[in-house]
Structure 1
Amino acid sequence: MDVSAVNALPYEDFVIFFGNVVEKCPLITAAVWAKRPFVSLAALETAISEFIDALPESGKEGILRCHPDLAGRDLQSGTLTRESREEQAGAGMDALNSAEASRMAQLNEEYKQRFGFPFVICARMNDKANILRQLSERCQNERATERARGIAEVKKICRLRLQALVLSDAPNKL
């Protein structure tokens, strides 16, 4: 799909197609549709980032709360979004041994108790060992630091999801 095709998408199709580039937040995609025409994929990504950046801190935390725990209940029950399932599997979150699973559950709970939102990391850019290490380290941060770090990770996830929706070999790609 090239940028002209993206710009030509009716509102409903645009929201369906790009609606989960920010996990369970199609409202963001709905809001940026009005920013068309986009000159590139980078312009669409920038519009999404600017929308997120303009949110109050409570809105940013709301975005973080839409993310599932890594290797958590949703993965075990099969209720993750397709994108999250693929991302977590790629990082090995679906293949933790019992000690890793126990440590992950403990750290996820500690993190959520401390910050009020789940730990967010771009799983596609990490493996399970690095995720466990970062989760442990980031539990020590201040709330504002973690909120900003989580939003930065959301933006990485968004970028990769946008790229995955576009054919990489297409001429005039987004």
Structure 2
Amino acid sequence: MARKTLLTIDDVNKMTSDQFIDVFGNIVEHCSLCAAAVWQHRPFQDVHHLHKVVCEFLDNLPVNGKQGVLRLHPDLAGNVAGGLTLESHSEQKSAGIDSLTLDEKGKIQERNKNYRDKFNFPFVICARKNKKEAILEGLELRLQNSNEEEVTNGIEQVKLIALLRMLSIVEE
């Protein structure tokens, strides 16, 4: 979600751990642990340095940790216990996921299920950089990949989502 006033990197560097986690706890979906781990690397030079540290955190996770991060994400157009986060709701809406036809919704739900059955985590794609047609096609294409390829693809999408979320919080 976009803030009315973006924070400066100085504002970010002055935050306590609790403040930082409150603000950045969902840049990686439902993963305040990422924010907690990243906070200790202050001071950040700019938002891109902050993003680099988040990427390093994600890259240094073991494969099962990366899979765990991916499991924190909701299915696209799916029902999520407790509902979508504000960020995910806004991102899915921008991609047109909230306006799927019944046929499209059926296709995306079937492909989500097939994807989750095969990989044991949900399909993760940066909804803000895609429209519903590209998401439907991406789901179909990525179902053909190996587990290793999809862990890599998913984490790369998480990094892009995190960057866009950071840019809605901190000035560039």
TM-score (norm 2): 0.94
Higher helix share: 1
In structure 1, list runs of 5 or more residues that go unmatched. Answer: 167-172
The residue that corresponds to 1:89 in the other structure is: 93
Matches within 5 A, 1:74-113: 74=80, 79-113=83-117
How do 1:157-168 residues align onto structure 2 when only pairs under 5 Å count? 157-166=161-170
Which stretches of structure 1, 4 residues or longer, exceed 3 Å deviation after superposition?
none
Query: For 1:138, which of 123, 133, 142 is the aligned residue?
Result: 142
Give percent identity, aligned residues only.
Answer: 45
1:56 aligns with 2:62: yes
1:82-123 alpha-carbon deviations (Å, 9 max, x no partner): 000000011011111110000001000000001010000000
Q: CA offset at residue 153 of structure 1?
A: 0.3
Distance 2:86 2:9 in 1: 24
1:14-33 correspondence to structure 2 within 5 Å: 14-33=20-39
CA offset at residue 78 of structure 1? 7.2
| Superimposed CA distance per residue, residues 12-49 of structure 1 (whole angstroms, 9 cap, x where no aligned partner) | 00000011000000100001100000011111101110
1:13 to 14, 19, 26: 19
Aligned amino acid, residue 99 of structure 1: D
Distance 2:140 2:9 in 1: 41
Report deviation, 1:60.
0.2
What is the Cα deviation at residue 3 of structure 1? 1.1
Report the equivalent of 1:42. Answer: 48
- RMSD of aligned alpha carbons: 1.1
